[in-house]
Amino acid sequence: MADDPSSMSFGARISQIAAEKPDAPAITDAAHTVTWRAFDRRTNQIARGLAKAGVKFGDVVSIALPNGSGFLEAAFGLWKAGATPQMLSWRLPQAEADAVMELAETPILISNGSVESTRPRYDVDQLVALGADPVGRRVW
């Protein structure tokens, strides 16, 4: 039953697909295409980066990004870290964003800078860099 996709976590299923077809497209947006291998690796790095940024299992973390590969990488990185993504409009004014994040007690904001906040803010590439493993080992 371990190979049954319906009984797997998102992270395990992504890793399984990455092993089966590493060079196949996982995400295509207006800017580029991400393979399953790259998607698995980047979401692992994001999960490790989130942990280094202080995100804990069970935390709700706000994502304020437009639709695209970065948004999906952030959401799946959060799920791999055991956190819950909270989607915010990337057009939200700071006061409204802060009020929503205050209610959710989100420790950080994932944004490309379109939403400002009093909370620590990281973009996807910063989380990838923060969680990079220099020897390429898979931790998550």
Tokens at residue 131, please?
Answer: 């969680």
Q: What are phi and psi of 2, to 5 degrees?
A: -65, -25
* Residues 68-120 pLDDT 10s: 999 999 999 999 999 999 999 988 888 999 999 999 999 999 999 888 888 99
* Residues 28-53 pLDDT 10s: 999 889 999 999 999 999 999 999 99
Question: Residues 35-60, buried b or exposed e (16+ Cβ, 10 A)?
Answer: bbbbbbbbbbbbbbbbbebebeeebb
Say which residue the tokens 């069970």 belong to. Answer: 58
Say which residue the tokens 């994502």 belong to. Answer: 63
Q: What is the pTM of this model?
A: 0.89
